[in-house]
A = this chain, B = another copy of it.
Amino acid sequence: MARRSDHTREEQYEMVLAAAREIVVAGGLEALTARKVANAIGYSPGTLYNLFDDFDDLIVHLNGRTLDELHEHLSSVPRTQDPMRDLKRLLRAYLGYLEDNRNLWNVLFEYRLPNNRSLPDWYVNKVAKVLGLIEVALSPLCPSRDPDTLADSARVLWASLHGICSLSGSGKLQVVSDQTVHKMAETLVDCFVSGLQTVHE
């Protein structure tokens, strides 16, 4: 049996990512298997390998979609020129997305490519796009306008926030409530922004 013309390659790609998304939303990464995705779209497992190099590749594409979603969600927060205010709003939006899309967020950050493989350029660009939002918010704090320093600061803040969400989410910080996570994240932003001002003077 072969050569069905039910769907184009692009349609299949969309179907796969949509199915993968649903499966992850419902059951997390551990629920996401090749057979289950194939079954959900009405094709056999082998067909997935026409569209993706391997299952890791599929997950990376799914994560790309999640990054797009996250970027869109964060883009909707209004910007003033007050870094502290803007960053607090970004933080709220970020934590909001995390709460509403826990499993997608988990896959986004917990999934690691096997040993020596590195993420594709288009993926790295999506990350950079999100980081750009933080850079914009931070930029009034970097008087020297040194783009490298600004980028570094944004990455530090982004990564730090990730650390808080990640460790607390995996139960490795004896953090009990989302409330505590929010408080810790606020502490981070408060201290970091305030410290950044001091350091740059």
Residues of chain A at the chain B interface (Cβ within 8 Å) = 28, 30, 109-110, 112-115, 118-119, 124, 127-128, 152-153, 155-156, 158-164, 166-168, 170-175, 180, 183-184, 187-188, 190-196, 198-199
Known: A119-B171, A194-B194, A195-B193. A187 touches B127 (CB 8 A): no
| Contact for A194 among B113, B188, B195, CB less than 8 A | B195
User: Which of B113, B118, B195 has a CB less than 8 Å from the CB of A195?
Assistant: B195
What chain B residues lie within 8 Å of A163 (beta carbons)?
A: 159-164, 166-167
Residues of B within 8 A of A180 (CB): 152
Copies of this protein in the assembly total 2
A127 to chain B: which residues have CB within 8 Å?
Answer: 172-174
Shortest beta-carbon distance, A66 to chain B, in Å? 12
In the complex, A115 Cα to B96 Cα: how many Å? 21
CB pair A194–B199 under 8 Å, yes or no, is yes
- Residues of chain B contacted by A194 (CB below 8 angstroms): 191, 194-195, 198-199
Measured CB to CB, the nearest residue on chain B to A188 is B156
- When the two chains form their complex, are residues B160 and A30 in contact, meaning their CB atoms are under 8 A apart? no
CB contact under 8 A between A152 and B184, given known A109-B172, A163-B161: yes
| Whole-angstrom CA separation of A35 from B79 in the bound complex | 55
Instruction: Give A98 Cβ to nearest chain B Cβ, in Å.
Output: 14
For A174, what are the chain B residues with a Cβ–Cβ distance below 8 Å? 124, 127-128
Please, could you name 9 A-B residue pairs with CB atoms under 8 Å apart, sorted by A? A110-B110, A124-B174, A153-B187, A158-B167, A160-B188, A190-B199, A191-B192, A191-B199, A194-B198
From A113, A128, A187, name the one whose CB has the most chain B CB atoms within 10 angstroms. A187
Residues of B with C-beta under 8 A to A187? 152-153, 156
* C-alpha gap A164/B188 in the complex (Å): 13
Q: How many angstroms from the CA of A41 to the CA of B175 in the assembled complex? A: 37
Q: Which residue of B lies closest to A170 (CB)?
A: B112
Give every chain B residue within 8 A of A196 (Cβ-Cβ).
191, 195
Q: Which residue of chain B has its CB nearest to the CB of A193?
A: B195
